[in-house]
Amino acid sequence: MEKFRKHGTKPYKIVALHGGPGAVGDLYDVAVTVAGWDIAGVMEHLQSAKNINGQVEELHSIISKETAAPVTLIGHSWGAWLGWIYTARYPEDIAKLVLVSSGPFEQKYVDSIMSTRLSRMKEDEKLFVQDFLNRFNTKKSGSTKNTTDKVMLTKFGKFMESVDAYDPIILLKPKRRSLVSASNGEVNPAVYAKVWKEAEKLRRTGKLLNYGKKINCPVVVIHGNYDPHPFLGVKKPLKKVLIPEKVEFHLLKKCGHKPWIERQDKDKFLKLIKQIIS
């Protein structure tokens, strides 16, 4: 199975990194849209490795063999962290790094994520979330491989997607949030469990943020004000480690965790992306 998907034509100068970890196809709509501008071809990294180093090396193989490096990396959520780590390790490959809806880079900002989400839920929704977390967290890391686990993780992900959205275009029926998956996208449970465990440790120990000391290319942060992942948990830490003249921050006021599904800020998001890659 190929670990990438191409959109548009050569030269492939843009690489899209999905969230999750393991949410393959998460940035598909963005990749197709960007490729349609005929500025450059877009490559999606279809992450399959079950550890961070494996995903970095998958990406390195794709960029080395399939693209016209240096490229612009556009990473969403977990993909933002993957792009961050990759850029520190292979700086010569990257012209620009775009962090979309990144998770916070320091542990002290983490607790507010779930508390913000829970404050938006009804009681039955809170019970659904707690039941899922209890079942998922009691499994051994990486043991979530059967169909039931995949369905449950996808369902949970889509529900959280609805909680994290401000005014989504296609995700939900008007004024109604559903616990049922609203798309055909799937999450790989084994990839999620193993990679996220590593990623959390990197953040907790400070190693994740320290990668920034090796990043010298321009970095653009795009974040939604309604995203439960706090904007200050990205902005404040990054200002400690990046060259001030080479980092810029954009806060979209009527936007959640996925800017491209937001009715009111989708166009602003895409306009920013177009400016960045032009």
State the Rg of the chain over Cα. Answer: 18
Torsion angle in degrees (nearest 10) through CA of 187, 190, 191, 195:
130
Distance CA 46, CA 44 (A): 6
Checking if the pLDDT of 114 tops 60, the result is: yes
Residue 148 has a pLDDT of 59
Token pair belonging to 80? 């933002």
Residue 188 has a pLDDT of 80
Residue 187 has a pLDDT of 73
pLDDT digits (tens, 9 = 90+) for 172-223: 443 434 333 233 456 788 888 899 999 999 999 999 999 999 999 999 999 9
Token pair belonging to 91? 């700086």
- Residue with token string 């994740």: 208
Distance CA 226, CA 128 (A): 22
pLDDT digits (tens, 9 = 90+) for 122-170: 999 999 999 888 887 766 544 445 555 777 777 888 899 999 999 998 6
Beta bridge partners of 7: 42
**Which DSSP category does 103 fall into?**
P
| 50 vs 184 pLDDT, higher one | 50
Counting every residue, how long is the chain? 278
**Which DSSP category does 180 fall into?**
S
Among the ranges given (11-15, 139-143, 177-181, 228-232), the one the predictor scored with the smallest mean pLDDT: 177-181
pLDDT digits (tens, 9 = 90+) for 31-49: 999 999 999 999 999 999 9
**266 CB contacts (<8 Å, ≥6 apart)?**
169, 259, 260
Averaged pLDDT of the chain:
90
Residue 142 has a pLDDT of 44
Residue 9 has a pLDDT of 95
Token pair belonging to 51? 């550890």
Token pair belonging to 45? 């990294």
pLDDT digits (tens, 9 = 90+) for 252-261: 999 999 999 9
Distance CA 215, CA 97 (A): 9
Domains of the chain: 4-107+199-277 (3.40.50.1820), 111-195 (no CATH)
